[in-house]
Amino acid sequence: MCFSAGASFGASAILGVVGAIAISKAKTSPERLFAATPLLFAVQQFTEGMLWLSLKNPGLEPYQSFFTYTFLVFAMMVWPTWIPYTIRRLEKDENQKKIMNVLLSLGIVISLGIGYVLVVYPVQVMTGNHHLHYMFDFPAVTKSFIWLFTILYCMTTIVTPFISSIKRMRWLGFIFLASWLFALFFYNGFVVSIWCYFAAVMSIVVVWIVAGISKKQLAVEVLQ
């Protein structure tokens, strides 16, 4: 997580187990993709744990940049595309799919834009109050667009679960929203790192959602 190397590695281990459970309950390819979400969180948290170590261990300092950018790729590039893509794959309602197609397209644009930012602008990692703060060397003009990125990022990751016709999926949206607001109000300046604190809770909901889908499919098969 964002508080220490040990917390990050511990979260990574838990997320790995939860991810394995989620995948074991999945029956179809779309379900397996969605169920793999905790495993991606596990890799992300492991990377941030290694980043913590590189900040304190001179022997790992040469790899600090690699850990920094790997974490940011997951935190800022993967989720705006992964969340709408995997939820869309699960969707059966054609009208909902059309809306999700728009959000997925938006997510791809955001991911590509962040990729450009990561390549062009240097990133520095600062520690403070047991948290990590990722500082981009943005020019003044670019900083004025951060709010727009935040809104678009939230639209793809938070709004998509609410659009889904899968009722349990809405709880994922609630947790995304609640955790983002919590990080924004109580840990402003550390949102990118703190938001990942809730990955474990999100992942448990993923297992619950996958189990519900499988149960519903089983019931349909029995009736047939």
Domain count, the chain: 1
Both structure tokens of 108: 């791809």
pLDDT of amino acid 61: 83
Q: Please, which pLDDT band fits residue 136 given cuts at 50, 70 and 90?
A: confident
72 in helix, strand or coil?
Answer: helix
Whether residue 186 is predicted with pLDDT greater than 70 in this model: the reply is no
Mean pLDDT of the chain: 83
Q: What's the CATH code of the domain at 69?
A: 1.20.1070
Mean of pLDDT values over 31-56: 90
Q: Please, which pLDDT band fits residue 109 given cuts at 50, 70 and 90?
A: very high
Both structure tokens of 77: 């590039």
Q: How far apart are CA 53 and CA 44, in angstroms?
A: 15
Whether residue 193 is predicted with pLDDT greater than 70 in this model: the reply is no
Q: Please, which pLDDT band fits residue 200 given cuts at 50, 70 and 90?
A: low
Which structural domain range is residue 213 located in? 5-223
Whether residue 217 is predicted with pLDDT greater than 70 in this model: the reply is no
Whether residue 74 is predicted with pLDDT greater than 70 in this model: the reply is yes
Q: Please, which pLDDT band fits residue 37 given cuts at 50, 70 and 90?
A: very high
Q: How far apart are CA 138 and CA 121, in angstroms?
A: 7
